[in-house]
Amino acid sequence: QAQIICGKTLAAVIDEEVKEAIASLHASFGKTPKLTVVVVGDDPASAIYVNNKVKRCRKVGIESEKLALDANIFQAELTQVIRDLSADPDTHGILLQLPLPNGMNAREILHEIAPEKDVDGFHPLNFGSFMAGSQDALAPCTPQGCLRLLKTVIDDFHGKDATVIGCSNIVGKPMAELLLQQGCSVTSVHHLSHDIEGKVRAADIIVAAAGSPHLVKADWVKPGAVVIDVGINRLRDLGDGKSGIVGDVDFEAVSKVASAITPVPGGVGPLTISYLLVNTVRAFAHQIGASKIEL
Ligand code: NAD
């Protein structure tokens, strides 16, 4: 039976680390980090995510502001809001909650976030330097969280075979890059790949980020592999008539084969927010001229 890697427990540890870093920066510089979350429209899932982020910020001592904008706002107006925040010395991190309402070009607007305040790590300057191996760039949060979860059960990544399912810019692609940086041999698969099962079965480390409920079956998993489940899939019926969230991995069956596995919910999700807090403090430290902080 696999060890269950608990994201909530690890997130609480990281919250403490972040709190300490903020206290020490405040002692030296007399300043507090501030994150502004911009949310456009009234997507119910976004509202939950944004509230969770704001709550976690407050818990660790990051000042946070939610800027809720009307769904009918023009792209030019939203662009101006982002430009103003980028120029505002009291805002150290800017997060534009996605998805944006139809008709808006998220890519164009994300490019307006000042790169040093881009706590999601989506700006091309940050993403490009991260993918080129820079340790200083603000990196996407979810893959950083996955790596931290993996580090609780793996000491040495050198030469391990890793398969990452999904290649989005938000999760799969940066995840593959982080695993390469750790010394793994990485296979990336996506919806056009042949023999996905075979490529997953060869792996010591599996990261599933496809957005496909229960895609990874027990017979896809090599005995002893470590499995990280990023997927968040809302199902109307979990089998007992109740609705809920499931991951990309058939948790019950795969737990009998893997050596360690993350649950959904309570696995990767809490860590994604942890690394939003970490990125905000890193961005803050850089902007106030502090030396690089270890987080
Ligand atoms: P995306 O839709 O942008 O990308 C999905 C990727 O998976 C694509 O590369 C696609 O080719 C691949 N894919 C889709 N179906 C596949 C299949 N059947 N077999 C193999 N590959 C397949 O999604 P995303 O933004 O990368 O998110 C992926 C999942 O992770 C979603 O469920 C999302 O909700 C979840 N997510 C969770 C967190 C978290 O904090 N836990 C954060 C971000 C995303």
pLDDT band of 183, cuts 50, 70, 90:
very high
d(CA 271, CA 275) in angstroms, rounded, equals 6
Question: Mean pLDDT, to the nearest integer, of 250-272?
Answer: 97
Interval 10-42: pLDDT, tens: 999 999 999 999 999 999 999 999 999 999 999
- Burial label for 17, CB within 10 Å (0-12, 13-18, 19+), is middle
Domains 26-116 and 141-269 share a fold: yes
d(CA 122, CA 32) in angstroms, rounded, equals 24
Distance from Cα 168 to the centre of ligand 1, integer Å: 7
- Cβ–ligand 1 contact at 149 (below 6 Å): no
Question: Mean pLDDT, to the nearest integer, of 246-265?
Answer: 98
251 HSE (CA, 13 A, CB side) = 20
Nearest CA to ligand 1 atom 42: 142
Interval 105-118: pLDDT, tens: 999 999 999 999 99
Question: Mean pLDDT, to the nearest integer, of 147-156?
Answer: 98
- Domain regions of the chain by residue span: 26-116, 141-269
Encoded tokens for 76 = 């030019």
Paired strand residues for 118: 94
pLDDT of residue 92: 98
pLDDT band of 120, cuts 50, 70, 90:
very high
Distance from Cα 31 to the centre of ligand 1, integer Å: 38
Paired strand residues for 36: 65, 94
Interval 38-48: pLDDT, tens: 999 999 889 99
- Cβ–ligand 1 contact at 231 (below 6 Å): yes
pLDDT of residue 240: 85
Helix (H, G, I), strand (E, B) or coil at 267: coil
Q: State the catalytic residues.
A: 53, 97, 120
pLDDT above 70 covers a percentage of the chain that reads: 100
Here the ipTM equals 0.99
Nearest CA to ligand 1 atom 8: 166
Nearest CA to ligand 1 atom 31: 211
Interval 208-237: pLDDT, tens: 999 999 999 999 999 999 999 999 999 988
Distance from Cα 291 to the centre of ligand 1, integer Å: 35
May I ask the CATH architecture of the domain 141-269? Answer: 3-Layer(aba) Sandwich (3.40)
- Cβ–ligand 1 contact at 141 (below 6 Å): no
Q: 26-116: which CATH topology? A: Rossmann fold (3.40.50)
Nearest CA to ligand 1 atom 34: 232
pLDDT band of 294, cuts 50, 70, 90:
confident
